[in-house]
């Protein structure tokens, strides 16, 4: 009887702590105007790697889904927002080869050409070190798609995060390779995928940093910044002053990274928005729990302020996010929810309340309970 009472008490105390953390974390949700799943049921058990874009016909969302990552049945799925609701996920691309062999697909990236086609970049291959780049196009906002075309030999397209159109007319794709060490480079097309050239790979810096999956921030007048995932327990950055033709060596930022994907965008107001897991792995580990999922903002790309916690459950993972700003000024976040569903969160940036991030630590608020278990688990 005594053991039963102790167990009940422990369960009660744990419940109180979790409920308290959830209630207090609402203080980091100012500005959120919509929080929803893309779907409730799907014909696949696992999903990952969000990308989202605004088209003339509405929002389009893509991700990969199947039995599990690396399984041959993994395909690229697309949902479209029609009359305020998301369509059921529909397969847009698969990895079936001419000889009938089936390979998994990976990391879709959407880009809307102004006045033109919607582009869907994705990868096909048994694993990241052996995949290749593919491209499909749509003339009707993602309802139907062209036949798949392989990018030129050695080109992958944007590896996870969206390309940006530079003032000189170049579509600038942030990309990376994982075969012979982690390396970042860029793939540039002046004609939206007809011809390509490469820039890089970037200098790994004095600390020989391992980084992939960069995103690009545009500071104006040809000044660009990348932020990237790393194996070095921190987000890494590099800078360019000539529209991405040359870059500084990679260097660590003050923000932690748990070897998980991030994304960033520069708004039309000039604010830089970063979505990432603000998690410093325990000890000397490179990899850590993919929870919580955070949003930080900056005016200069150097000093960052805490803005949002999109997810903070101890149940991992909330990962591989994407962020865009739509024509109405709102921010849209898309990300993996526990590998079970895909999430969409809409934020009014005018209603954000921020606090400085000092020495890489997420700031505390009065009465705030830190996310439970944020460093207690490690994803595979």
- Terminal Cα-to-Cα distance of the chain (whole angstroms): 40
User: Is 147 exposed, middle or buried, given 0-12, 13-18 or 19+ CB atoms closer than 10 A?
Assistant: exposed
CA distance 192 to 109: 14
Q: Average pLDDT by consecutive 10-residue portion of the chain (380 residues)?
A: 46 43 66 98 97 98 98 98 97 97 98 98 98 98 98 98 97 96 97 97 97 98 98 98 98 98 98 98 96 98 98 95 98 98 98 97 69 36
**Listing from the earlier edge strand, what are the strands of the sheet with 164-165?**
164-165, 171-177, 183-189, 197-199
Q: Write down the pLDDT at residue 27.
A: 79
Q: What per-residue string of b and e applies to 246-282 under the rule 16 or more CB within 10 Å gives b?
A: ebeebbbbebbbbbbbbbbbbeeeebbbbbbbbbbbe
Q: How far apart (Å, rounded) are the C-alpha atoms in residues 321 and 296?
A: 13
- Can you give the pLDDT at residue 364? 87
Q: In whole angstroms, give the CA distance from residue 235 to residue 255.
A: 6
Query: What residue has token string 């999903």?
Result: 47
pLDDT at 26: 64
At residue 372, the pLDDT reads 40
Cβ atoms of 374 and 281 closer than 8 Å: no
**Across-strand partners of 361?**
358
CATH class of the domain comprising 32-150: mainly beta
**Which is nearest to 212 in space by CA: 155, 280, 277, 160?**
160
d(C-alpha 98, C-alpha 207), whole Å: 44
**Cα 158 from chain centre:** 12
* Residue matched to tokens 């921010």: 331
């Amino acid at each position: 009887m005594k053991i039963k009472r102790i167990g009940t008490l422990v369960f009660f105390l744990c419940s109180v702590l979790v409920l308290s953390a959830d209630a207090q974390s609402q203080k980091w949700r100012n500005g959120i105007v919509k929080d929803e799943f893309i779907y409730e049921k799907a014909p696949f058990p696992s999903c990952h790697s969000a990308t989202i874009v605004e088209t003339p016909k509405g929002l389009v969302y893509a991700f990969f889904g199947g039995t599990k990552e690396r399984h041959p049945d993994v395909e690229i799925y697309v949902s479209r927002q029609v009359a305020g609701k998301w369509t059921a996920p529909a397969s847009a691309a698969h990895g079936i080869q001419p000889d009938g062999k089936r390979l998994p697909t990976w990391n879709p990236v959407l880009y809307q050409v102004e006045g033109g086609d919607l582009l869907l970049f994705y990868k096909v291959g048994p694993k990241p070190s052996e995949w290749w780049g593919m491209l499909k196009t749509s003339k009707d906002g993602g309802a139907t798609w062209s036949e798949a075309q392989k990018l030129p030999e050695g080109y992958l397209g944007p590896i996870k995060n969206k390309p940006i159109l530079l003032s000189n007319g170049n579509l600038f794709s942030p990309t990376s390779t994982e075969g012979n060490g982690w390396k970042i480079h860029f793939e540039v097309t002046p004609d939206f995928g007809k011809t390509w050239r490469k820039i890089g790979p970037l200098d790994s810096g004095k600390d020989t940093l391992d980084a992939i999956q960069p995103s690009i921030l545009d500071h104006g007048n040809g000044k660009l910044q990348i932020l990237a995932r790393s194996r070095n327990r921190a987000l890494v950055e590099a800078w360019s002053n000539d529209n991405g033709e040359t870059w500084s060596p990679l260097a660590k930022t003050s923000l932690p990274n748990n070897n998980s994907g991030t994304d960033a965008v520069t708004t039309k107001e000039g604010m830089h928005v970063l979505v990432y897991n603000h998690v410093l792995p325990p000890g000397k580990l490179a990899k850590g729990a993919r929870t919580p999922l955070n949003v930080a903002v900056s005016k200069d790309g150097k000093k960052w302020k805490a803005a949002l916690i999109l997810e903070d459950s101890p149940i991992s993972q909330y990962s591989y996010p994407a962020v865009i700003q739509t024509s109405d000024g709102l921010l849209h976040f898309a990300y993996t929810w526990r590998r079970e569903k895909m999430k969409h969160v809409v934020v009014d940036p005018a209603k954000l309340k921020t606090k400085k991030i000092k020495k890489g630590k997420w700031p505390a608020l009065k009465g705030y309970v830190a996310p439970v278990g944020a460093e207690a688990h490690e994803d595979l």
